[in-house]
Amino acid sequence: MMLFNLNLPLYIHIFLLGFILIDHPAVALPNFGVTAVREQFSKAFASWSLPFPSSSTSIEKRAQTLSGVNYNPNGTAFLWLPDVEYSGKTFFDTWDFFEGDDPTHGTVHFVNRSFAEDNGLISFNEQDGTVVMKADDFTTLPMGVNRSSVRISSQQLYTTGLFILDLRRAPWGCAIWPAFWTLGVGPTWPQNGEIDILEGVHDNEHNQIAFHTNPGCMYDPNATFTGTIPGDPSEANRTNCDASARQNSGCDVVEWSQASYGPFFEQQGGGVLAMKWDENDISVWSFFRAAVPTDITAGTPNPSTWGLPSARLMNTMCDIPNFFANHTIVFDITFCGDWAGNSYATTNCPGTCLERLMDPANFVNATWSINSLKVYRKELLSGNPQPSSSSYDYDRRVAFRVILPLVAALIFTFY
């Protein structure tokens, strides 16, 4: 008892910390990684208060335990269930290699699979289990000659889905323009829409997300997300996703985090990009490594717990099923061209874009290194479990405040 009393201030401290963490995570912790920490606390706690799915992730079990249950605006419940996973040695078996001229006019030669394999532009890294796709970083080229690189698209087409890309590295550097995106298959771009999930050029440090559509699709000014619409807000059509409205820019959003693109993203050990697409909205989140929510790592993703996305296109001012359909998933690395070529002079990069292309040493960081790409499909729950999420949260909060101090008391009493 004596010992317990001696440790009373510490006990109170832990008690208060539990209180603050659950109710005001943004206050208790720096913004850096707050989502992950909050998630860990909630999840750790959820497993005490409720039966948490262990090895089984069957629909019934997850529905019963409410792990990952999301709700449509009309109140119907649904889960995101595993659909397709792209990873490991067989990664490239279900993708097509694009071999045509770059539609964005890059100084690039997109190679076929056998050339890419024979020359090490694609590979599987046995040591760390990553799938690697990279630019030619070994050939010295004369000025103006196309550098070899890779552009692949998934054979499977998707209309809606939750796409979760876990990256160790994404390409970056002067003259380099990589993108991870989904593209509607159809005769005329952008008839079935385009969703750019990770994209940037040169020495950028902030990821750029964009939507490109036919006329009639716009950001809802009431939508909340953490990214910013770049440029002059008074400029016409800033929130118009119509590809023809502003020279093909679409409606773009720049992420606030400096770790969302380029060297800082890589130094963090990469991270996770998640794109949720259903009838209600299309949203993109990016998490640097330390902030990846545990439900993502556990394979039971629950976007409703991830906080605000970086960008969100709502169905209120864009009839999503009408503008987005039959998407293939695309990875590519191009050089110069429409964006990277025209913006080169405005960066801190040396010389000209075409000069930069000649030396292979400039392309050592033009590398995708992929842990996995997982696609989940939306499954409506017929039983529609409806425990109010607020009482669930309340239970967690109350129990957290009780149990944490109890544990602290036990430790300090018997230590």
Ligand X SMILES: *[C@@H]1O[C@H](CO)[C@@H](O)[C@H](O)[C@H]1NC(C)=O
| Residues in touch with ligand X (CB under 6 A) | 72, 74, 76, 101-102, 105-106, 108-109, 111-112, 114-115, 146, 173, 186, 192, 215, 220, 222, 236-237, 240, 242, 244-245, 263, 279-280, 316-317, 325-326, 362, 364-365
Q: Give the nearer residue to ligand X in terms of CB position, either 42 or 70.
A: 70
Inter-residue contact 274 to 164 (CB < 8 Å): yes
Q: Give the nearer residue to ligand X in terms of CB position, either 40 or 258.
A: 258
Phi, psi for residue 117 in degrees, rounded to 5: -70, -45
Question: CA 197, CA 110: separation in Å to the nearest integer?
Answer: 21
Q: What is the DSSP letter of 210?
A: E
Contacts of 23-29 spanning 24+ positions with Cβ under 8 A: 23/397
Question: CA 248, CA 18: separation in Å to the nearest integer?
Answer: 49
Give the nearest distance from C-beta 291 to ligand X in angstroms: 20
Q: Which of 260, 222, 271, 276 is nearest to 70 (CA)?
A: 276
Q: Give the nearer residue to ligand X in terms of CB position, either 9 or 221.
A: 221
Give the nearest distance from C-beta 238 to ligand X in angstroms: 10
Inter-residue contact 138 to 342 (CB < 8 Å): no
Give the nearest distance from C-beta 186 to ligand X in angstroms: 6
Report how far apart, in Å, the C-alpha atoms of 38 and of each of 45, 125, 219, 271, 276 are: 11, 33, 29, 17, 21
Give the nearest distance from C-beta 386 to ligand X in angstroms: 13
Q: Give the nearer residue to ligand X in terms of CB position, either 123 or 280.
A: 280
Q: Give the nearer residue to ligand X in terms of CB position, either 2 or 236.
A: 236
Give the nearest distance from C-beta 273 to ligand X in angstroms: 20
Inter-residue contact 68 to 50 (CB < 8 Å): no
Q: Give the nearer residue to ligand X in terms of CB position, either 9 or 350.
A: 350
- Rg over CA atoms, the chain: 24
Question: CA 75, CA 73: separation in Å to the nearest integer?
Answer: 5
Give the nearest distance from C-beta 162 to ligand X in angstroms: 14
Question: CA 185, CA 159: separation in Å to the nearest integer?
Answer: 11
- 57 class by beta-carbon count within 10 Å (0-12 exposed, 13-18 middle, 19+ buried): middle
Tokens of 388: 């109010």
DSSP helix/strand/coil, 238: coil
Q: ∠ CA 346-197-130 to the nearest 5 degrees?
A: 105
Give the catalytic positions in this structure.
194, 199
Give the nearest distance from C-beta 105 to ligand X in angstroms: 5
Question: CA 174, CA 120: separation in Å to the nearest integer?
Answer: 22
Q: Give the nearer residue to ligand X in terms of CB position, either 268 or 326.
A: 326
